[in-house]
C-alpha cells in the first residue's frame, strides 16, 4: 500500500491502536506504523500490560519481514514513553533503530512522559511532528486521559429504554426491550472497560453475570457491586470469577463478620467506602478506582444507583439504546429529584448517534459546569 500523506499513515496507526481496545489496560491503546519510501514496512499495537508497546511491535514486524527501518518514519498514536516501567523506553528503541522522523498524534498526559519522550527524540536529531489527528487519538484513550488528568476513571453509564424513557415494566419485566444487535453492541462496550459496575438492587432482581459473552475475549472486566449493607448472596453469578463489593458497613458485629467471611470465601473482595448517611461514598469510590489504575468503568445499574451516580457527579457519558416502542407507566432510567426551575437541569451534549439494528444508540456527555 502506497502512503501518500502523514494523515493517511496516522489514520492507519489509529486503526492499529483499536486492535488493542480490549487488552492493554491499564496502559493506553497505542498503534504504530513505520513507513519508508511511501510503503508500510512495519506495524503493531500495544500488547497486554508488561508486554511490548506499539513501537516495539512495529519494529519487530519490520525486522521479521526483512525491512531496514533506518531513515524511516514512525507514526505513533501517543507520545513514545521515555521512562522505565514494566518495559524499557520506546523513545530509546526508535533512536537506536535509526528512525529518522517520528509523527505523533498526541502527547502523553502521564507525568512520567508528558513531553519528555518528544524532547528525547529531538535531542537525538530526529524530526518530530506533533500533534496530528489529536482528537481521534484522545477518543481511543479517553479513560487513560481521564485517569491521568483527574485521578478518576471515565465513567460510562449504559441503559436500554423505550422511546418514552422506560427501562422495565412495573412488575420488573425488562427482557428484552432492545433487539439482539443492541445487546451485542453493549457487550463490546463492556469488553473495552476495566470494570462493570452495578448495584445490589440489580443483583437481587436479575442475578446478572456482568461479563462479556457475545464474543470470545482474553480478559473479562472486573465486576463491581455497590452494596452498602452487604446483601449480596454468596451464590450470586456476579461473584463467579471474583468481584469487588463496595459496602458502607464498618462495624464488628459478629453476624456481619460471618457475612463478610462468606462473601470472601465466594471470591469477593470487600471495600469499605461509607459516608455518614450509611451509604457508599460514590466519589471516594471513583477515586479509589483511579488509584487502582482503572481507565474506563461501565455502569449497568437500576434507576436508583444511576440517579445517585449522576447526582454525585460521577458519570461522564451516557450510552443509551432506545427501542422504537412505548411502555407507558413503567420504571424509568434515572431516579432523580424533582426540579422547581428549568435552570436546575443537568446539561449534556450529544457526542454521537446512530442506528444499531432497529434501535437508536446515543452517546451523550455531561457538560462541565
Give the closest residue to 31 by CA, choosing from 5, 1, 9, 62: 9
The burial class, CB within 10 Å (0-12 / 13-18 / 19+), for 84 is exposed
Task: Kindly state the DSSP code that residue 280 receives in the 8-state scheme.
Answer: B
List the beta strands (DSSP E) in the chain: 31-36, 39-45, 73-76, 101-104, 127-129, 154-162, 166-168, 195-199, 222-226, 243-247, 268-272, 296-299, 317-323, 331-332, 348-356, 359-366
Please, are residues 98 and 80 in contact by the beta-carbon 8 Å criterion? no
d(CA 347, CA 345) in angstroms, rounded, equals 6
Residue 55 designated active-site: yes
Q: Which of 55, 79, 300, 317 is catalytic?
A: 55
In terms of C-beta distances under 8 Å and separation of at least 24 residues, what long-range contacts does 257-263 make, across chains too?
259/230, 260/230, 262/234, 263/230, 263/232, 263/234, 263/239
| Residues forming the active site | 55
Amino acid at each position: 500500500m502506497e502512503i501518500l500523506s502523514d494523515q493517511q499513515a496516522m489514520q492507519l496507526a489509529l486503526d492499529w491502536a483499536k486492535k488493542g481496545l480490549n487488552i492493554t489496560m491499564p496502559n493506553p491503546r497505542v498503534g504504530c506504523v513505520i513507513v519508508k519510501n511511501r510503503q508500510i514496512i512495519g506495524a503493531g499495537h500495544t500488547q497486554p500490560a508488561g508486554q511490548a508497546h506499539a513501537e516495539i511491535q512495529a519494529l519487530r514486524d519490520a525486522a521479521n519481514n526483512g525491512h531496514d527501518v533506518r531513515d524511516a518514519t514512525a507514526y505513533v498514536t501517543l507520545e513514545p514513553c521515555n521512562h522505565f516501567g514494566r518495559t524499557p523506553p520506546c523513545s530509546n528503541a526508535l533512536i537506536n533503530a535509526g528512525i529518522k522522523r517520528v509523527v505523533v498524534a498526541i502527547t502523553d498526559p502521564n507525568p512520567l512522559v508528558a513531553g519528555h519522550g518528544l524532547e528525547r527524540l529531538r535531542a537525538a536529531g530526529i524530526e518530530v511532528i506533533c500533534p496530528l489527528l489529536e482528537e481521534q487519538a484522545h477518543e481511543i484513550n479517553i479513560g487513560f486521559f481521564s485517569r491521568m488528568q483527574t485521578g478518576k476513571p471515565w465513567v460510562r453509564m449504559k441503559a436500554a429504554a423505550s422511546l418514552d424513557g422506560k427501562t422495565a415494566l412495573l412488575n420488573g419485566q425488562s427482557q428484552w426491550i432492545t433487539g439482539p444487535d443492541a445487546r451485542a453492541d453493549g457487550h463490546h462496550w463492556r469488553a473495552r472497560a476495566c470494570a462493570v459496575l452495578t448495584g445490589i438492587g440489580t443483583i437481587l432482581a436479575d442475578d446478572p453475570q456482568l461479563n462479556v459473552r457475545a464474543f470470545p475475549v482474553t480478559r473479562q472486566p472486573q465486576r463491581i457491586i455497590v452494596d452498602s449493607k452487604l446483601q449480596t448472596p454468596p451464590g450470586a453469578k456476579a461473584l463467579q470469577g471474583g468481584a469487588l463489593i463496595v459496602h458502607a458497613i464498618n462495624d464488628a458485629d459478629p453476624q456481619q463478620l460471618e457475612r463478610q467471611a462468606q462473601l470472601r470465601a465466594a471470591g469477593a473482595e470487600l471495600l469499605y467506602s461509607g459516608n455518614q448517611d450509611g451509604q457508599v461514598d460514590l466519589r471516594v469510590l471513583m477515586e479509589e478506582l483511579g488509584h487502582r489504575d482503572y481507565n474506563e468503568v461501565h455502569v449497568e445499574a437500576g434507576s436508583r444507583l444511576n440517579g445517585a451516580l449522576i447526582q454525585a457527579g460521577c458519570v461522564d457519558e451516557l450510552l443509551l439504546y432506545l427501542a422504537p416502542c412505548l411502555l407507558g407507566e413503567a420504571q424509568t432510567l434515572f431516579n432523580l429529584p424533582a426540579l422547581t426551575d428549568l435552570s436546575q437541569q443537568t446539561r449534556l451534549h450529544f457526542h454521537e448517534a446512530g442506528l444499531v439494528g432497529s434501535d437508536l444508540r446515543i452517546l451523550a456527555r455531561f457538560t462541565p459546569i
